[in-house]
Structure 1
């Protein structure tokens, strides 16, 4: 059994996509909101793009879910289309420890592993 407090904090993952590097920082706040920031870099380390998603998250049993409410790009806020099913995601938690969070998208089967950067927030 997993507890939502275990997810509160900042998590990171990165990936080599061949022609560029991808990095994600996921901040899961104790109040149930999130900020996910995605970075793409070229092979020389130059930042190509930075986009943040904001929304709500939760954990019920071994199901982690997110609801995207908006995006931030170039310091401009864009509200999410609440009718777009791509703004709603559910994941099965495969591992959740003090240092690692591995989960699988319920629909696509895509797996992600994030490492804890910091633990923040007060217990509810």
Structure 2
């Protein structure tokens, strides 16, 4: 199946609860220029942030393959450049579904499936 690159541009969100009851959230900003900004956070059962990071990099979509290249990460407001020789900074995914509301994809290696929902910027017609 072939998906259009423009379909992926925008803001996306997902939230999952792990076995310990911690909430993992991801906010993805996918830009038309091929760059991305992913914000990850983990909240404990009391709602306190226990981990937070921001990842910057490049992305692409070819047919049904989505890929990311991590180039930098912010942890505790400090930037760390990614080691571009480290294969863990490169990821490829098979796109399972992509439309106006849902982006569902599967990691090529781990086979883990992720489902993100589009963030609507304008709710009213004001």
TM above 0.5, yes or no, is yes
User: 2:74, 2:4 → 1: CA distance?
Assistant: 29
8 Å Cα contact 1:34-1:55 kept in structure 2? yes
| Bigger strand share | 1
User: Does residue 63 of structure 2 align to residue 61 of structure 1?
Assistant: yes
Question: Which protein, 1 or 2, shows the higher relative CO under an 8 Å CA cutoff with sep ≥ 6?
Answer: 1
Structure 1 match to 2:16 = 15
1:2 corresponds to 2:3: yes
Which 5+ residue runs of structure 1 have no aligned equivalent?
A: 120-124
TM-score, length-normalised on structure 2?
A: 0.91
Q: 1:75 aligns with which of 57, 62, 77?
A: 77
The aligned length equals 119
TM-score, normalised to structure 1, is 0.93
> Could you list the runs of 5+ residues in structure 2 that have no partner in the other structure?
122-126
Q: Which runs of 4+ in 1 moved over 4 A?
A: none
Partner Cα distance (1:50, 1:24) in 2: 10
* Distance of 1:10 and 1:25 partners within structure 2: 7
| Residue 118 of structure 1: how far off its partner (Å) | 3.4
Tell whether the 8 Å contact from 1:33 to 1:57 is kept in structure 2 after alignment.
yes
